[in-house]
Amino acid sequence: MIKAADRILYIDAYLAPGETRLVPPLLDPAEIKHADLVLGTHPHGDHIDPVAFPGIASASPQARFLVPRGSLDHAAKLGVPRERLVGMDEGLTYEDEAGGMRVQAVAATHEFLDHSDTTGYPYLSYIIQLGGFTILHCGDTCIYEGY
């Protein structure tokens, strides 16, 4: 979770309980009533969490959800309304309506630098500019040539 410049972002919020977790979830998604933006780097359950995404969508009706373009259907099936989903890909940028937040997508590798002509890169990193700070969230990635 990042809080800066009157904005609250969640990135790869993994809040589903489970026997294989080493640490229990820190909070229930229904408690997240203040999210402005929720970012998912790729469609694995610990990144686009099937418990967190619909829970946050319900508790924070103002929140937008940024996911890789190829994950739009997946996020919608989890219960995030289509009009609140933003499909991202390498080089695409999201700016909030107030202009105080900017998120740029960068291709990421998850073992391989996968790409589809139809849906783009399935794994993303995000460059977030907010409140005078620039933050790089890499998701699950490896260094690759040109990164």
Q: Is the pLDDT of residue 94 over 90?
A: yes
| Number of domains the chain contains | 1
Residue ranges of alpha helices (H) inside the chain are 52-59, 72-78
- pLDDT one-digit tens code per residue, 20-79: 889 999 999 999 999 999 999 999 999 999 999 999 999 999 999 999 999 999 999 999
Question: Is 131 inside any structural domain?
Answer: yes
Whether 59 maps to a domain, the answer reads yes
Structural domain includes residue 145: no
Q: How much is the pLDDT for 147? A: 65
- The first and second tokens of residue 24, run together, are 């229990």
- Predicted confidence at residue 112, as pLDDT, reads 84
Q: Which long-range contacts (CB under 8 A, 24 or more apart) does 25-33 make?
A: 28/55, 29/54, 29/55, 29/56, 29/58, 29/59, 30/55, 30/58, 30/59, 31/59, 32/56, 32/59, 32/60, 33/59, 33/60
pLDDT score recorded for residue 88: 98
Residues 106-144 pLDDT 10s? 999 988 889 999 999 999 999 999 989 999 999 888 887
Tell me if 146 is assigned to some domain: no
Q: Looking at residue 99, what is its pLDDT?
A: 75
Whether 65 maps to a domain, the answer reads: yes
Examine residue 147 and state whether it is found in any structural domain, yes or no: no
Could you report how far apart the first and last alpha carbons of the chain are, in Å?
A: 25
- pLDDT, residue 98, reads 79
90 near 117, Cβ under 8 Å?
no
Q: How far apart are CA 145 and CA 67, in angstroms?
A: 24
Whether 144 maps to a domain, the answer reads no
Q: Model pTM?
A: 0.94
Segments forming the whole domain that contains residue 34? 2-137
Residue 24: what are its φ and ψ, rounded to 5°?
-65, 160
Does the pLDDT value for residue 89 go beyond 90?
A: yes
Position 121 scores a pLDDT of 96
Q: Is residue 127 part of a domain?
A: yes
When comparing pLDDT for 106 and 97, which is higher?
Answer: 106
The set of residues, in sequence order, having a beta carbon less than 8 Å from that of 97 and lying 6+ positions away, is none
What CATH number is attached to the domain comprising 120? 3.60.15.10
